[in-house]
Structure 1
Amino acid sequence: MDHRASATAVLIAAATVMRGDTSGPGTAPAGAPAWCERFLSTTLSHHWLLASSQSAPGRACWRLLESLLLPGAVSHWMRRKREIDRLARDAAANGFTQLVVIGAGLDSLAFRVCEERLYPSIVFADHPATLNVIRKALGADARDMARGIEFISLDLAQQEINTVLAAAPGFDRRRSTLVVIEGVLMYLSEPDVARVLRSIVPLPNPSVRMIISWMVAEPGKPVGFAHQSRFIPAWLARRSEPMLWGSTPAAIPAFLDGLGWSNTRVIDLAGDDRLEPAEARGLQSEQLAVAERDRLS
């Protein structure tokens, strides 16, 4: 993974393109498909994936593979992105003026809210390999976009978030800040998850809110999606992206509380499964948590 963007990030970007012209619960957030098309235009392999996600035969093949290997995955990913989009907009409406997206991958949230000028200050932090893909996709627009978004290289395995952000010229310590960590923590060990989430707490900002996605798994049980094929863990391991950490809705508030967070809200992404009877089987395996870190004393 040191020289390429995350394989799951690439697949989710392609899934976002596929869901760009549909309606109903499985729809991508407004504006997201166009950005993902752009992100997938930088390499030959990504361009092939993009082309297959835009053609009727290609979409049929991907739907078949999804039903065999990871039922409900695409609907789940789109539900996750729409809910985070809603939470980010709610935070902006409630006085948060800085957005920090950690491990952003090929997600479009930062770029969409930048276009709308929803957050005066935006930080996009990820591994250098992913940032290279983003910068290449932006092309001639990179200079204009750089005035609205601060791009920061961040290796979660080696660096502390608060230290990296404090050193970034575009990070404003005076602003109330929303931190989003989506689709990242499941690939870290529990000690590393604790270290990452604890490292956000010392930020000097007047208030910090955090949104994380996390896998639902009982202690000692394998971490993964319900009804996934046995080939999925093997594929993730081969891509150096095995799922390592999960928790339960009952345990996550106490876990976050012990790291310096409070007022945790758990958001069940399954919603009303009756809306998607053919695709909902994979939706119960990942949820969101929203937690607060109020003004430091």
Structure 2
Amino acid sequence: MEISKMQIRRKDTSGTAEEITFHRVIESAKEEEERICYDPYAVHFIGPELLKFFEATACNYPEAKARLEEMYRLFPGTQNSIVARVRYFDDYLHDSIEEGIEQLVILGAGYDTRAYRIEGIKEHVKVFEVDYQGTQQVKMEKIKEIFGSLPSHVKFVNADVGSGNLFKILLEHEYNPSQKTLFIMEGLIYYLPPEDVKTLLSSIVQNSSHGSKIILDYFPQSMVDGTCELEVGNLIHERVKQSGEPLKFGIKEGTVEKFLKERGFSHIQNVTSDDYKKAYFYGKNENREVCSLYSFVHAMVEH
């Protein structure tokens, strides 16, 4: 693809969303037996600068290769944890579709492409992608370029996920609170103030049916308050702070089950770096390091 075709205006968009997408681009370019996740559409959502960098790495240009290796050295295991997160959330969505979910709400959707690449979703699930207008406008333009039009099974919802108006706006977009729904919060809650996280989780419980579920990832509280004992944790803390999207919310280690149970959830399953390392990194990938600061959790709405 020509670089010029990727040049779209990216005013008021999330730089973090693009960076996370770039990790999917890098992983998807690997051989099938080696890659942890696969997203054939991710490359469409990175801007010209990152696209040039990706093409340079794909051609094994020494300077680009050195830059990528430096990133891996400074943030050891983070790339692998991020692509493992994509894979785990994909697998969980696959299972949820087989179990009969009727709606999928992707909160802070960014450049998430699950609505377009997960088998069975178009036929059986109504999707709501929730994010700010700037990022969504870029995404909608690219979706129309890829597929020719916006798909009928996806609703693009311009809303602040931490506000008390979220479900009012979702209802206006034909969200049905009586249907079994999965809420995906990937790379989201640590950017929200604590009160917004609590409001969001309470709103989900109040506005969804029995059997509805959530899946999210989180950082330990020490990452947020700057007391993390791991150097990579403090580097991530400073990196996102400098990008203008600082960390605001963390969960004290060992308390995620209590935290979610107190907010109306049951069947809580915490997924540690040891868990996803064992699940995905074996064979050719057994020596790939993961970052212990990335944890996932899924739970069911308790009614």
- Is the TM value for this pair above 0.5? yes
Query: Match of 1:250, as an amino acid?
Result: G
Check 1:240–1:25 CA distance in 2 against 1; reply closer, same or farther (3 A cut): farther
2:21 aligned with 1:37 = no
Matched, 1:79 2:79: no
With 136-145 and 235-244 compared, the bigger mean Cα shift is at 136-145
Aligned to 2:170: 165
* 3-state SS of paired residue (2:246): coil
Output the CA distance in 2 between the equivalents of 1:265 and 1:248: 16
Which residue number corresponds to residue 88 of structure 1?
A: 93
Q: Offset at 1:89?
A: 0.8
User: Which aligned pairs between 1:60-209 and structure 2 lie closer than 5 A?
Assistant: 60-113=65-118, 117=122, 119-140=124-145, 144-169=149-174, 171-209=175-213
| Structure 1 residue 182 displacement after superposition | 0.5
Question: What is the root-mean-square deviation of aligned Cα atoms in Å?
Answer: 3.0
Residue 21 of structure 2 contacts residue 111 of structure 2 at CA under 8 Å; is this kept in 1?
yes
| Residues 116 and 195 of structure 1, relative CA distance in 2, 3 Å threshold | closer
Relative to structure 1, the CA distance from residue 19 to residue 188 in structure 2 (aligned partners, 3 Å threshold; closer, same or farther) is same
What's the TM-score, normalizing by structure 1? 0.84
Q: Deviations over 1:140-184 (max 9, x none)?
A: 456743312111112234454322212213x23342101100101
2:217 maps to which residue?
A: 213
Counterpart AA for 1:19: E
Indicate if the aligned counterparts of 2:36 and 2:83 stay in contact, CA closer than 8 A: yes
- State the 1:248 CA deviation: 3.9
Q: Distance in 1 between matches of 2:294 and 2:251?
A: 10
How far apart in 2 are the matches of 1:216 and 1:80? 16
Query: Contact 1:219–1:247 (CA<8 Å) still a contact in 2?
Result: no
Contact 1:127 1:154 in 2 (8 A): yes
Contact 1:103 1:181 in 2 (8 A): yes
* Number of the residue aligned with 2:19: 11
Q: Quote the residue 2:255 is aligned against.
A: 251
Aligned residues: percent identity? 18
SS at match of 2:142: helix
Letter in 1 for 2:144: G
After superposition, the Cα gap between the structure-2 partners of 1:113 and 1:225, relative to the gap in structure 1 and judged at 3 Å, is farther
Q: Contact between 2:268 and 2:297, CA under 8 Å: does it hold in 1?
A: yes
Return the offset for 1:114. Answer: 6.8
Q: Cα offset for 1:91?
A: 1.0
Alpha-carbon separation, structure 2, partners of 1:268 and 1:243? 20
Match of 1:48 among 52, 67, 82: 52
Q: What is aligned with 1:292? A: 300
SS in 2 for 1:228: helix
Q: Which runs of 4+ in 1 moved over 6 A?
A: none
Question: 1:234 offset after TM fit, Å?
Answer: 3.0
1:183 alignment partner, SS class? coil
- Asked if the contact 2:213–2:299 (Cα under 8 Å) also holds between the matched residues in 1, the reply is yes
Per mean C-alpha deviation after superposition, the further-off stretch among 125-134 and 143-152 is 143-152
Gaps of 5+ in 1: none
- Any unmatched runs of 5+ in structure 2? 1-9
The range that moved more, 145-154 or 231-240, is 231-240
TM-score normalised per structure 2 = 0.82
